[in-house]
A and B are shown apart, each in its own frame.
Chain A
Amino acid sequence: MSLLERFARGEPDAFEDLFRQYQSRVFAWIVRIVRDRGVAEDLTIETFWRIYRSRQRFRPDGNFSAWAYRIATNLALNHLRRRHSHLEVALPEDLAQPGSSDMIALEESSEHVRRAVLTLPAKLQVVVMLAMIEEQPYQEIADALGIAVGTVKSRVFRAVRLLRKRLKQMGVEHAGTREWEDARGVKTRIPGS
Chain B
Amino acid sequence: MQEHENGKMREALKLAFPAVDQELQRDLWPLMLRRMEKAQRHPGVPWYDWVLAGAVTVAFVFFPKLVLLLAYHL
Which residues of A pack against B, CB within 8 Å? 16, 19-20, 23-24, 27-28, 31-32, 35-37, 41, 44-46, 48-49, 52, 106, 109-111, 113-114, 117, 128-129, 132-133, 135, 156, 160, 163-164, 175-177, 180-181, 184
Contacts and interface: CB of A to CB of B under 8 A. Distances in A.
Given A19-B28, A113-B16, 13 more contacts: A23-B28, A24-B23, A28-B23, A45-B35, A109-B16, A114-B16, A114-B17, A132-B6, A132-B9, A133-B14, A176-B10, A177-B8, A180-B8
Contacts of B27: 20, 23
Q: Which of B10, B21, B28, B31 has the most CB of A within 10 A?
A: B28
A37 B20 CA distance: 8
A112 B13 CA distance: 10
Contact of A27 (B8, B24, B35, B39): B24
B13 A35 contact: no
B45 interface: no
B12 A32 contact: no
Given A117-B16, A132-B10, A24 B39 contact: no
8 contacts: A19-B29, A28-B23, A31-B21, A35-B17, A160-B6, A176-B5, A176-B11, A184-B15
A113 B15 CA distance: 9
B32 interface: yes
B interface, how many residues as a size bin? 20 to 34
B11 A181 contact: yes
> Which 4 pairs from chain A and chain B are nearest by CB?
A176-B8, A113-B16, A28-B22, A110-B16
Interface of B: 5-6, 8-17, 20-24, 27-29, 31-32, 35-36, 39
- Chain A contact residues: helix, strand, loop or mixed: helix
A147 to B, nearest CB: 20
Given A37-B20, A110-B16, A114-B17, A184 B29 contact: no
Given A32-B22, A37-B20, A113-B15, A175 B9 contact: yes
